Amino acid sequence: MNDGDTRVPSRRELLKIAAACLALPGVTVRMAAAAALRISNRLSPLNSKRPKRPHTRYIILHTTEGEEKGSLNKLVRYGEAHYFVSPSGKVLRIIDKSKIARHTGRSMWEGRSNIDNYSIGVEVCGYHNRDITPAQTEALKELLRQLKSIYNIPDERILTHSMVAYGRPNRFHNDNHRGRKRCGMIFARPEIRERLGIHGAPAGDPDVQAGKLKVADPELFSFLFPPRSEPVLAATDAPSPPPAPETVEVPPESPLIALNRTAWHIARERYNHPSTVYVFPDGRRLGGDKIQDWGRIPSGTRVLLNEAEDTERFEGFLEIGKDGDTPAEIAGVAATSATTIYFFPDGLVRTGAELKKKRSLQRLLKTPPKGTRLLVGYVYGGHVKSRRPATSIAGTKWNYPSTYYRYPDGRILSGDDINAKDIPGGTLIFYQQ
């Protein structure tokens, strides 16, 4: 064909082509849904500071566990989600979808830790054990469709916060374990995933299967990863229909301590939080931070929780006397690792490996003073100097929300709080592996 054979289609022909495209199955429905979804900005003050996410592999679904106004204000203040879906179906943008939002805390999936760095977080106003509204269903379905298309995310990588969160060793569990959160667990239900246009689900937990994590709550684990019915092969050439998803009931959540139901089963990591109240059978009340002997709490004790979880400003820090009485209780075998950092009340900062190696410091490893804080899974980056700025120490992670700075005056700030030009010399930097 030469240039003389080329012609521009007429307006009538273009309209016919457009009409033919609209006639394709599902096109008009998707266009209508996309047009109906209105995303408004309610950007966090931290949005401008947050760095670009290096890779997007997952979508994480959350439930707020609280009422709309308070939950939204908290999410906006701390930049804890990319999107918020209200009961009326209104969708708000909190952090730009290309940036890091701080929404999963201590998390792991497929061997990757700190899933914030690889995921988009969607907070749905509601509760982990209650269905969402029809308006939320429609809005969330379209939002997920768009995000899946933009980032090429398969349904098997649309996960719940309860799937990816994990806990450190504590008084009740000796190992790193699943079960730290119930957040978003309703979105593991096969019938709800189908309503949201999510036609696949993870077949199991890759980190439990790899031996990296233990299962601390078998009931929750079975709910998140329900067994799938195997198709029955019939003596026919016709293909077998796919197995119908099984309906799984939400595990019971009694607030009463019993022989097989500990404080951890009810309150999870908040079992020793001051806002968690224990009402004993004799009427006495104690806050979680006042209880000394966890093994002697009588059956029938009622555990009262805050409706919405407080924000842990320093999510990565664990404290002696609060999260465990010894480094081994808190960090397990990582207690003496170079990637476990100790912050002592007198200002001394050392790694677990340094404490183990130096005889004069070994007593601090054996019996650290109450109030000592630990960072587990962190790199001790060293001091900022005039010719060694934060970017040369932590690279692209210098302003990640999970990166911490210890100023010469003892203050500890996160990447959210940092201005690169204002970091004083002598500041220590700690960033995740």
DSSP 54-94: S---EEEEEE-SS-HHHHHHHHHHHT--SEEE-TTS-EEE-
CA distances from 222 to 204, 214, 227 (A): 10, 13, 8
- Exposed (0-12), middle (13-18) or buried (19+): which is 84, by Cβ within 10 Å? buried
- Cβ 64 vs Cβ 102: under 8 Å: no
- Cβ 132 vs Cβ 140: under 8 Å: yes
Q: How far apart are CA 375 and CA 321, in angstroms?
A: 15
Strand partners, 342: 350, 374
Write the DSSP assignment of 352-399 as a string of letters: HHHHHH-GGGHHHHHSPPTT-EEEESEEEEEE-BTTB-HHHHHGGGGG
- Can you read off the two tokens belonging to residue 353? 């490996």
What pLDDT is recorded for position 4? 44
pTM: 0.80
- Cβ 386 vs Cβ 355: under 8 Å: no
**Cα-Cα end-to-end distance for the chain:** 58
Q: How far apart are CA 172 and CA 257, in angstroms?
A: 14
What pLDDT is recorded for position 25? 62
What pLDDT is recorded for position 433? 80
Classify 178 as helix, strand or coil: strand
What pLDDT is recorded for position 8? 59
- Exposed (0-12), middle (13-18) or buried (19+): which is 148, by Cβ within 10 Å? middle
Is the alpha carbon torsion for 169, 170, 173, 174 positive or negative? positive
Q: How far apart are CA 412 and CA 430, in angstroms?
A: 10
- Can you read off the two tokens belonging to residue 280? 């004993």
Q: How far apart are CA 148 and CA 412, in angstroms?
A: 37
Q: How far apart are CA 284 and CA 86, in angstroms?
A: 39
Q: How far apart are CA 381 and CA 174, in angstroms?
A: 29
Q: How far apart are CA 27 and CA 146, in angstroms?
A: 14
Q: What are phi and psi of 59, to 5 degrees?
A: -120, 130
What pLDDT is recorded for position 23? 58
Whats the size of the chain, residue-wise? 433
What pLDDT is recorded for position 30? 56
Is the alpha carbon torsion for 144, 149, 150, 155 positive or negative? positive
Mean pLDDT in consecutive groups of 10 residues from the start of the chain, 433 residues: 53 62 56 73 96 96 94 96 98 98 94 94 96 97 98 98 91 89 96 96 96 95 83 51 48 82 88 90 89 88 75 67 85 91 95 94 93 94 94 93 94 91 94 88
- Can you read off the two tokens belonging to residue 264? 């951890």
CA distances from 340 to 137, 209, 318, 377, 379 (A): 42, 25, 11, 6, 8
What pLDDT is recorded for position 194? 96
What pLDDT is recorded for position 380? 96
What pLDDT is recorded for position 242? 47
Going edge to edge, which strands form the sheet with 166-167? 166-167, 177-178, 214-215
